[in-house]
Each structure stands twice: as C-alpha cells, then as structure tokens.
Amino acid sequence: MNDIETSLEALFSAERESRRIHDELTKHAAKTRDLVLGALVHAIAAAKELEDEAEGAVRLVAAARLLGELDGDDVVDALIDVLDSDLPEARSEAGEQLQGLAYDRFKEVALGVERALARLGEGSAALVELPYLLVDIPEGGVVKLLGMFLQHVDADAVAAAIETLVILGDASVTKFLLPLQGDKRVSVLGEDDEQSEVTVGELAMEAIELLRQNESPSE
C-alpha cells in the first residue's frame, strides 16, 4: 500500500469514527437533550474564540451538524450563533441546518430570527446571511420577516433584505422600501476581491423600480 492509499484509508477510518460518535451523541441527546445542548452551546462559544481558524471551523461545523438533529427554540438560537461566525465553512453548515429546520418547522425558525434581530447588533454576520436563507423557504411569513430586517441598524443586513425582496419579486413590498429611499447608510456588497459600496437609499430606489416593473398593467 502506497502513501496515498494509506492516507485514504486513514481518512475513511476517521470519517467512520466521526459518524459513530455523531450517532452516539444523537442517542444521548434523545435522553439528555439539555445536557448535550448545554455542552454544544459552550463548545460553540469556545470555538469562536479560537485563534486557529481551521480548528474553529472543524468544531463549529461538527456542532452545527449535531444541532440539526435536535429541535427547539434554543437549538435555533444556537445555530444562528454558529451562523454569526467569520468562518465561511461554519456559516454554510449552519445555514444548511437552519434551512432544513425551516422547511419542517418554519414558525420555530421564524421566532428565532425575530430574536436574532433583537439580540444581534451591527456587524453581525448572521443578520446578513439570514435573508438569503429565508428567501428559499416557501412560507408566506418570509416577507414579513424580511420587512423586519429593513428596520435594523445594520446597513448590510438591510441591504441583504432589499436584495432578497427583489428576488421574491412581489411588487407589494415596495411599501416597505419607500421610507428607505433617502437612507445614506453605506453597505458593502460583493466578495472580498470585488466589493463595492452603495447606500441603502440607492439600493431601495433600484429595488422599487425593479419590483414595479413586475407589476402587470391591470394592477
């Protein structure tokens, strides 16, 4: 067996062990949910403080996957705390788990989003990510939630909500956007290598124009 084959076998063995432990913890959670959840919440907070980003990502991804096996308001809050991370891999996993929960238990996730809007401040990564997660959920309450994002102090969260309202294409939401037309707050859009600055007001006006184009002549 050459070095590559040996490494592959080690990888497969590590994955099997990881799945075994995951299943074991899931079984524990069925009997002692609060203990497992408490340990996860502590582990998430500790992982976000690590200087080693790779290790932090490993821990946060594993925690998010296990949280996805649970339910309850506190689970939604914990997943949003993982989403509120600087690590893209962790945000991706938490977002996937939150979407899965939202398809099955939308009200539970919606209430968690409302709590996040109240407890998370300016600069929160989660508040920018959440609108893009919500837009794919086929629930009428999504528009109401996105409207709540427009009231937040964080310009990037507001910008994300504006963009997702345009994606939904419902012209009736223009009433939420009209008060933002003169908003001078600046949002940074795009990836790190292609970022651009735009005011909330400019985004709102562009969104209103696009949404009005979607209105039928009869309306």
This prediction has a pTM of 0.86
Question: Could you state, in order of their start, the residue ranges of all structural domains in the chain?
Answer: 1-119, 127-219
Sequence-ordered alpha helix ranges (H) in the chain: 3-31, 33-48, 53-67, 73-83, 88-104, 106-119, 125-134, 141-149, 155-168, 174-177, 200-213
**Residue 87 and residue 132: Cα distance in Å, rounded?**
17
When pLDDT is cut at 50, 70 and 90, the band that residue 219 belongs to is very low
Which two three-digit tokens encode residue 150? 């427009």
User: pLDDT tens digit string along 67-81?
Assistant: 998 889 999 999 999
Q: Which amino acid is at 47?
A: A
